[in-house]
Structure 1
């Protein structure tokens, strides 16, 4: 029983290890295997990588046209990594809910001002 559990554990670990594609080490073909990366994006990644390896996700986003924070999150979910690290949303993503709250508060403030004038 213990041998079976250990064998399943190693099989799952191997599957997860093979699923990750590091942007600094992957070939063009490896990159196109990631859902969301087509041949054109893979070529842009390879061209940008000629300048040097990507330091982190922000470096990748800044140097490769067509990869933004939203697409970086999706690519990370599909197994793309930068130096073995998955994408973690930065401060820009966490500020979106705050701006949505501010927008929804403005009509209420406007309605209050109209009532005061009446």
Structure 2
């Protein structure tokens, strides 16, 4: 029973981390900053401003067009970024 509880907790924690994705076309700056590694509130605000001016992101790579966001940051967060 003790091992079952440990496994259950591990599965729960894994499921929570797998769900930690953010839709950069819909989320506000606070949500983006919270979910993406290396993206603080300032860069998240720049993402929202870019999206407002240019429309929704069509590819994950398009995030590199936002000042201060490079390909390394995009690659580090690729699995957490949603577009739709």
TM, length-normalised to structure 1: 0.51
Alpha-carbon distance in 1 for matches of 2:78, 2:23 = 10
Superposed CA RMSD in Å reads 2.5
Matches within 5 A, 1:32-111: 32-33=33-34, 34-50=36-52, 51-62=54-65, 64-76=66-78, 79=80, 81-83=81-83
Unaligned runs of 5+ in 1: 85-118
Structure 2, unmatched stretches of 5+, are: none
Shift of 1:45: 0.2
Partner of 1:30: 31
Shift of 1:75: 2.6
Q: How many residues align?
A: 74
Structure 2 counterpart of 1:98: none
RCO higher in 1 or 2 (8 Å CA, sep ≥ 6)?
2
